Amino acid sequence: MRIRIMLIATRIWSIVLLALCLSGTVHAQGGDPNAGAKQLWQLIDYVAVDYGGAVANGVATSESEYAEMLDFTDNASKQAASLPAHASKAGVLAAVADLRAAVMRKADAAEVKRLAHHANALLIAAYPIPVAPKAMPNLTRGASLYAAQCAACHGAAGHGDGPLAASLDPKPIAFSDAERAQSRSLLALYQVVSQGVAGTSMASFAALPEADRWDLAFFIGGLSYDAAARKRGEKLWKDDPAVRAHFPDLAAVTTLTQEAIAAKTSVQTAHDLTAYIRSKPAEAEALKPSGLALSRARLAESLTALHAGDRATATKLGLSAYLDGFEPIEPMVGARNKSLLAAVESAMLAYRSAVADGNVAKADAVGKELMQLFTLVETELGDAKTDPMTTFVGALTILLREGVEALLIVIGIVAFLRKAQRKDVLPYVHTGWIGALAAGILTWVAATYLVTISGASREVSEGVGSVFAALVLLSVGLWMHQKSSAGRWQEYLSEKLSAAMSRRTAWSLFALSFIAVYREVFETVLFYSALAADGNGGALLGGFVAAVVLLAIIAWVLLRSSARMPIGKFFSFTSGFVAVLAVILIGKGMAALQEAGWIGVTPVSFPRVDILGVLPTAETLGAQALVLAILVAGFGFNRISAARSVKA
């Protein structure tokens, strides 16, 4: 049980990070597991748009274009067959086969288009692919990219008459062609820009950043509309709520075609509305529900999917109800009413458990409970908004709660190194916690001014960090207890510790110090950002300063008391303390990973004790029981070994 166990934990963490990085690299380099579905979607969409130019009245008007349609549907059939296994794969294969058969018999263009759209709808439902940009498109940037990358072939105005057009076969697409544009979605344009079109001069622009490709798609998608159409569309958008309902979010803007809107309204309305919303996509995204409204919507959609027997979709929507709707306001709720926050979290876990078990009755009951809790949350947020004392107390208790846990770990490491006469390793520890504070400041700047930290990212970061810290603390606790049982401390410290504590071990302590502090700083930043929204800046600052002073006093007391404690007693006491922290952190880490949807949820009848990381789920309690069992076994083994060495 030497301190080298710490290195094993650190290496495990490094392997996890490396795996995540490699995963991201694979995706960035084209190893996307959904790449086949993306290409299949593009093939089918191409048929939907271009088939009308190849066949009319059951006769091929262009043999070359009809041959292309046959080739595309043949490739689509092969691509569909190679898709990963899925419960809905058979439906996708049947839909593609129907499309292929319609093309072979030279069916009407409207029928082929309907079959193609049906096949793609089934495909996206079974093999989800990103259908909207992660950030709002920049049409000015799109215009600049088009001029640099596309105008030479497609022409400055998108008429297909660029300087290079005459030398190309087939000719470049005229993006200004209104008839073709009405059946092409922005998602289709994005896919073409990303993957190119085989057998044509349209090359892939996958080397461009994803955001640039979306900017291009949005700009190209507006080339068939003029300013007058956009102006009429703006009036429709502002005057008619029913019209706005067609574009509830950015995904609707990218996936709906003008033809699809015309089927629900009129040809002219669809034309003008599409012209406007493609030029002002932010207007659609502004309608998207957020906060508790989004939680309610996702929860209702999840229940609908569960009643329909689609557990996978119900699970995904249930996670979204928490991570996308409630989680962003969680810090604000926790700062004002911790018990209400715990009630919502418990109900969310119970709901996901019911969905996983397929228990519709229980899911309905918990869903009703959640709706009532959401109402209580709204009342809580409304009542406490302008109370400076609430802000002060919240700022004080949050920083104390989060700070003490990190402080105990860092002070424990510092006291241990001082007792061990290894002050040369202290800079690693101090660099770790100071770096964590600096990273926390950067996190606050990023969360406030640059990006929105998603709920999933927050929970995963907290969960993985807690599990890592628990593993390191587990190994340290066992090692320290072994030495406290062995006796002869001065001999051990002077002769063996220098060899055991290598540079790699020092970096392990740096990692533990950094993670222990940063996970708490990360949590505090999110809570403080929520409190800052109340506008009580003075009260917030006062609570912060008071908490910092109290933490400084606690740190001084701990360092003074540990310095005076006999070394054997110190190691014995500290090993027990570290062991308790390991049990607490493994529970908190597992809970965070449950909230992120990484591990399952099995509720059990057991008291909830947040301060100890004890939650009433089999997964969290099981993880804590395992760590506790390892500690008991390790401590027992250490005592037996010490007794044998004394007899010898």
**Per-residue confidence band for 409, with pLDDT thresholds at 50, 70 and 90:** confident
The pair of three-digit structure tokens given for residue 369, joined into one six-digit string: 């409970």
C-beta of residue 351 within 8 angstroms of C-beta of residue 370: yes
User: Is residue 321 over pLDDT 70?
Assistant: yes
Q: What is the 3-state secondary structure (H, E, C) of 472-514?
A: HHHHHHHHHHHHHHHCCHHHHHHHCHHHHCCHHHHHHHHHHHH
Q: Using CA atoms, how far apart are residues 476 and 467, in angstroms rounded to an integer?
A: 14
**DSSP-derived pairing of the beta strands 59-60 and 55-56:** antiparallel
User: Does residue 19 register a pLDDT over 50?
Assistant: no
Q: What is the pLDDT of residue 331?
A: 65
Entry field: residues in the chain? 648
Mean local confidence (pLDDT), 485-502: 47
Q: Among all chains, which residue has been given the structure tokens 């193609």?
A: 116
**Taking 80 as the threshold, does the pLDDT of residue 447 lie above it?**
no
Q: Which amino acid is at 617?
A: T
Closest CA to 94 of 71, 111, 127, 119: 119
Give the residue-averaged pLDDT of 330-336.
70
Average pLDDT, stretch 568-572?
61
pLDDT at 18 exceeding the cut of 50: no
Does the pLDDT at position 489 exceed 50?
Answer: no
- Ranking 52-66, 115-129, 423-437, 588-602 by mean pLDDT, the lowest is 588-602
pLDDT band, residue 263 (cuts 50/70/90): confident
pTM: 0.49
The phi-psi region of residue 358 (left if phi > 0; otherwise alpha if psi is between -120 and 50; otherwise beta) is left
Looking at residue 97, what is its pLDDT? 94
- Nearest C-alpha neighbor of 462 from the set 637, 587, 593, 344: 593
Find out whether 599 and 619 touch, Cβ atoms under 8 Å: yes
**Amino acid identity, position 108:** D
Task: Return the amino acid letter for 390.
Answer: T
Whether residue 585 is predicted with pLDDT greater than 80 in this model: the reply is no
Beta strand spans in 98-255 (E): none
Please give the Cα distance from 317 to 597 (Å, whole number).
11
DSSP state of 325: I
The pLDDT value recorded for residue 499 is 45
**What mean pLDDT comes out for the span 507-532?**
71
pLDDT digits (tens, 9 = 90+) for 147-160: 999 999 999 999 99
- Do residues 256 and 185 make contact, with C-beta atoms less than 8 angstroms apart? yes
Per-residue confidence at 445, pLDDT binned at 50, 70, 90? low
Using the predicted structure, report yes or no on whether residue 383 has a pLDDT greater than 60: no
DSSP state at residue 425: G
Residue 429 pLDDT exceeds 60: yes
pLDDT score of 598 more than 80: no
Q: Specify the pLDDT at position 567.
A: 55
Cα distances (angstroms) measured from residue 109 to each of 50, 128, 404: 9, 27, 69
- d(CA 333, CA 257) in angstroms, rounded, equals 41
Query: Could you tell me the pLDDT band of residue 139, with boundaries at 50, 70 and 90?
Result: very high
- Mean pLDDT for 582-593 is 79
What's the token pair of residue 564?
């005076």
Average pLDDT over all residues of the chain = 78
Average pLDDT in the 279-305 region? Answer: 83
Determine the pLDDT at residue 23. 35
**Interval 216-234: pLDDT, tens:** 999 999 999 999 999 999 9
Distances, alpha carbon 177 to alpha carbons 123, 209, 224, 225, in Å: 28, 27, 6, 9
Query: Distance between CA 260 and CA 177 in Å, rounded?
Result: 18
Q: 41 or 596, which is more confident?
A: 41
pLDDT for 20? 34
Looking at mean pLDDT, say which of 97-111, 159-173, 525-539 comes out highest.
97-111
What is the average per-residue pLDDT within 37-66? 85
- Which among 10-24, 32-46, 101-115, 443-457 has the top mean pLDDT? 101-115
Structure tokens at 330: 């969680």
Q: Judge contact between 579 and 477, C-beta under 8 A.
A: yes
Element (H, E) at 37: helix 35-50
Beta carbons of 596 and 460 less than 8 angstroms apart: yes
**What confidence score (pLDDT) does residue 492 get?**
45
Predicted pLDDT at 637: 80
Who contacts 563 (Cβ-Cβ below 8 Å, separation ≥6)?
A: 415, 418
The pLDDT of residue 488 is 46
Find all residues with CB under 8 Å of 431, minimum gap 6, and list them.
510, 513
Whether 274 shows a pLDDT value over 90: the answer reads yes
Average pLDDT over residues 104-128: 87
pLDDT in tens, 168-214: 888 888 999 988 888 888 988 998 898 887 777 888 898 899 899 99
Question: How confident is the model at residue 21, as a pLDDT?
Answer: 35
Which tops the pLDDT comparison, 570 or 140? Answer: 140
CB-CB contact of 218 with 278 (8 Å) = yes
- Which is higher by pLDDT, 225 or 581? 225
